[in-house]
Structure 1
Amino acid sequence: MRPTDKTGNQDLPRGQGDHATLYVSLELSRSTWLVTSLSPNSAKMSKHTIPAGDAPKLLALLARLRGRAERFVGGSLHVVVIQEAGLDGFWVHRSLEANGIESHVVDPASIAVSRRRRRAKTDSIDGETLLRTLLAWKRGEPRVCEMVAPPTPEQEDRRRLSRERATLLRERVQHVNRIKGLLAGQGITDYDPLHKARRARLDGLTTGDGRPLPRQLKAELLRELARIELLLQQIADVEAERDLSIEADADGRPSPIALLAQLKAIGPQIGAVLYHEGLYRSFANRRDVAAYAGLVPTPWRSGSIDREQGISKAGNPRLRHIMIELAWLWVRHQPNSALSAWFRARVGNERGRIRRITIVALARKLLIALWRYVTQGEVPEGAVLKKA
């Protein structure tokens, strides 16, 4: 009979090569890090707590655990560490790999958990679950979890421009809506805060009952306009830096973003998001491409029950959102393409829900077509390129 842990669950049996491996899981939080380890030829998991963000202490603890296990087995050991993808990003993973430790980052949503209505959840239980997941994955069990492919620091830094621009646009919308809301309370509904003559037009505004703007309200509106002008300048700076990053390389070859922007319906911003959020990665097949964007269907089949739950939404949300937006633009600007013809044949004159469902399917097909275009140079069937 296999040994059990404190929770009463049996430890998974380990392979023949595990006698030379020390398995470690990291449960990361804002205050503390819980390190759970399983030494060779041991059925008991040990747990240690260190302050959050203290990489030197983590490396020292791993070295101490490794040394203790090596004295026990009388030989050298290989250390394998697993952690969940989360707010800490990938710096812990990179720090471990830089010190010669094999590290893996797992998608937390792919780890199987108890389906009890009231299941116990603690850092200790989560650490043990992570460790069991790592053991099963190293044994080669299929579909036990989904490991994340961490981007390089350069790849991670390149996508900051498109993400920062999206953040700045959201902030601009907030300030514009605030100005319009303040003016609506005075009976003014025709003022555009983004107009070039916004300050001059503000001076000539009068309330709905014919009074000039109150002094404090006008001062507040001027401060809001100053914030909008700062945001407009920052957006222009980000867009200029983005445009410089998509120029041809030293050999004169166009960048993948420039290739995408050659297609009608795709501009520099959409091309940058498409490439830096997804198409820069290496995918094995078209299913992996669609799954990374969360655009794959989620069936529910059991016995006589057979229905669809919609797309999984388990992938990169930024890539998924931009693909839905691009799908609508593709139908408008690429009407003679095979994908647009497929959409019209499916939808016809329908409106509403059928149209929204079909546009998601078109987004999935379009993403796969663009992946082939970037990696193999295969232009989507019937697509039109922009004039030089």
Structure 2
Amino acid sequence: VVAAPSLIPKKAGDRIKTNRRDGVNLAKLLRAGELTAVWVPDERHEAMRDLSRAREAARKDLKGKCQQISSFMLRLGRHYPGKRTWGPAHMNWLMKQKLEHREQRIALEELLGAVRQESERVERLEQAIREAVPEWSLAEVVTALQAMRGIDLVAAVAVLAEIGDLSRFQNPRELMGFLGLVPSERSTGDTTKRGGITKAGNGRARRILVEAAWSYRHPPRVGREKQAKVAAAPRRVREIAWKAQMRLCGRFRSLTRKGKRPTVVAAAIARELSAFIWAINREVMASRQI
């Protein structure tokens, strides 16, 4: 049995730790059925997780390089007049900047070269993900999840790579708890006190869902880029995806009108979004058995 260390019961007053005492305690807990087993991924799944995390690391490095250039230009008093940064127009503007000192021009060229290098690295990893997905056991689920708003190929792969087999969750609430998106609670007697989300479980998957939740602040619609993905999905998956849009877009507006902080609203939407992801996975798995 592979148990989750964070879920192993421990006495608050026990201050002595030895291998012998730990072994005895684990044996007692196993006999009593108090140990919570964790899902163990196979080698193929771990490989997909490594690839997804490599892409995330490359994206983080790219963001850092872009921030360095932004800080450099801000210090020199140069402000980009356009709206969308880091697109072709912004890059052309940066390359055309005429700086006073030769050393500054060299520094800017090196930073721009680093951005181009990191961008190519991200593109290579995303291409590797696209090529690896068809051979993955969760390929059908990846395709189905892309019918949902805010979830593209990279996000779908990242969520499934981090969470694993969604079928092991008996209901959506178990998945919400695993992701740490449920409110914390410290209640006693007649007093009920709830706080922020628990943030338990996998932080990467939780962050991706929260980022996807922000797309539901706009009215429900199917964009041009999403139409092909929606059309390729099974009818039942399309219905769930559209139901999610109608529900979550309305929920986002409703919570915002009540004066909730934007971050609180995004976390609430991400929690419900995980339930729709669970429903789509169940639908795909059920179609496999037919």
Output the TM-score relative to the length of structure 2: 0.75
SS at match of 1:301: coil
* 1:193–1:225 Cα contact (<8 Å) kept: no
Q: Evaluate the alpha carbon distance shift between residue 342 and residue 214 of structure 1 in structure 2; reply closer, same or farther with a 3 A threshold.
A: closer
Counterpart amino acid of residue 327 in structure 1 = A
* 1:327–1:363 Cα contact (<8 Å) kept: yes
Aligned twin of 1:225: 112
- How many Å separate the matches in 1 of 2:150 and 2:55? 19
Aligned twin of 2:38: 148
Aligned twin of 1:319: 205
Counterpart amino acid of residue 161 in structure 1 = L
Deviation of the 1:358 alpha carbon: 4.3
- How many Å separate the matches in 2 of 1:126 and 1:219? 58
SS at match of 2:151: coil
Q: Evaluate the alpha carbon distance shift between residue 178 and residue 359 of structure 1 in structure 2; reply closer, same or farther with a 3 A threshold.
A: closer
Deviation of the 1:187 alpha carbon: 1.9
Structure 1 consecutive aligned stretches of length 4 or more whose deviation exceeds 6 Å: 197-200
- How many Å separate the matches in 2 of 1:151 and 1:188? 50
SS at match of 2:150: coil
* 2:183–2:197 Cα contact (<8 Å) kept: yes
Structure 2 counterparts to residues 59-138 of structure 1, below 5 A: 104-115=1-12, 120=15, 125=17, 127-128=19-20, 130-138=22-30
- Residue from 153, 178, 184 that aligns with 1:268: 153
- How many Å separate the matches in 2 of 1:322 and 1:215? 42
Aligned twin of 2:64: 174
* 1:246–1:255 Cα contact (<8 Å) kept: no
SS at match of 1:223: helix
More helix by share: 2
Deviation of the 1:245 alpha carbon: 2.5
* Length, aligned pairs only: 261
- Cα distance per residue 1:48-103 (max 9 Å; x no partner): xxxxxxxxxxxxxxxxxxxxxxxxxxxxxxxxxxxxxxxxxxxxxxxxxxxxxxxx
Counterpart amino acid of residue 186 in structure 1 = L
- How many Å separate the matches in 1 of 2:267 and 2:91? 43
Query: Is 1:301 matched with 2:187?
Result: yes
Aligned twin of 1:47: none
Deviation of the 1:318 alpha carbon: 1.0
Aligned twin of 2:54: 164
Aligned twin of 2:165: 280
Q: Evaluate the alpha carbon distance shift between residue 218 and residue 146 of structure 1 in structure 2; reply closer, same or farther with a 3 A threshold.
A: farther
Deviation of the 1:331 alpha carbon: 4.9
Q: Evaluate the alpha carbon distance shift between residue 203 and residue 352 of structure 1 in structure 2; reply closer, same or farther with a 3 A threshold.
A: same
Q: Evaluate the alpha carbon distance shift between residue 359 and residue 227 of structure 1 in structure 2; reply closer, same or farther with a 3 A threshold.
A: closer
Counterpart amino acid of residue 363 in structure 1 = A
Greater displacement, 156-165 / 106-115 = 106-115
Deviation of the 1:236 alpha carbon: 0.8
Deviation of the 1:293 alpha carbon: 1.0
Larger Rg: 1
SS at match of 1:149: coil
Counterpart amino acid of residue 168 in structure 1 = A
Counterpart amino acid of residue 258 in structure 2 = E
Query: Is 1:214 matched with 2:121?
Result: no
- How many Å separate the matches in 2 of 1:162 and 1:358? 27
SS at match of 2:258: coil
Deviation of the 1:278 alpha carbon: 1.7
Query: Is 1:186 matched with 2:76?
Result: yes
Deviation of the 1:320 alpha carbon: 1.0
Counterpart amino acid of residue 214 in structure 2 = W
- How many Å separate the matches in 2 of 1:326 and 1:200? 30
* 2:180–2:206 Cα contact (<8 Å) kept: yes
Gaps of at least 5 residues in structure 1 are: 1-103, 207-211, 379-388
- Residue from 238, 242, 247 that aligns with 1:339: 247
More strand by share: 1
SS at match of 2:201: coil
Seq. identity, %: 19
Counterpart amino acid of residue 234 in structure 1 = R
Gaps of at least 5 residues in structure 2 are: 222-241, 286-290
- How many Å separate the matches in 2 of 1:274 and 1:351? 30
Deviation of the 1:199 alpha carbon: 7.5
Deviation of the 1:342 alpha carbon: 6.0
Q: Evaluate the alpha carbon distance shift between residue 201 and residue 326 of structure 1 in structure 2; reply closer, same or farther with a 3 A threshold.
A: closer
Deviation of the 1:115 alpha carbon: 3.7
Counterpart amino acid of residue 255 in structure 2 = V
Deviation of the 1:363 alpha carbon: 2.0
* 1:133–1:145 Cα contact (<8 Å) kept: no
SS at match of 1:282: helix
- Cα distance per residue 1:265-290 (max 9 Å; x no partner): 32112211222222534324123222
Q: Evaluate the alpha carbon distance shift between residue 344 and residue 255 of structure 1 in structure 2; reply closer, same or farther with a 3 A threshold.
A: closer
Aligned twin of 2:283: 376
SS at match of 1:246: helix
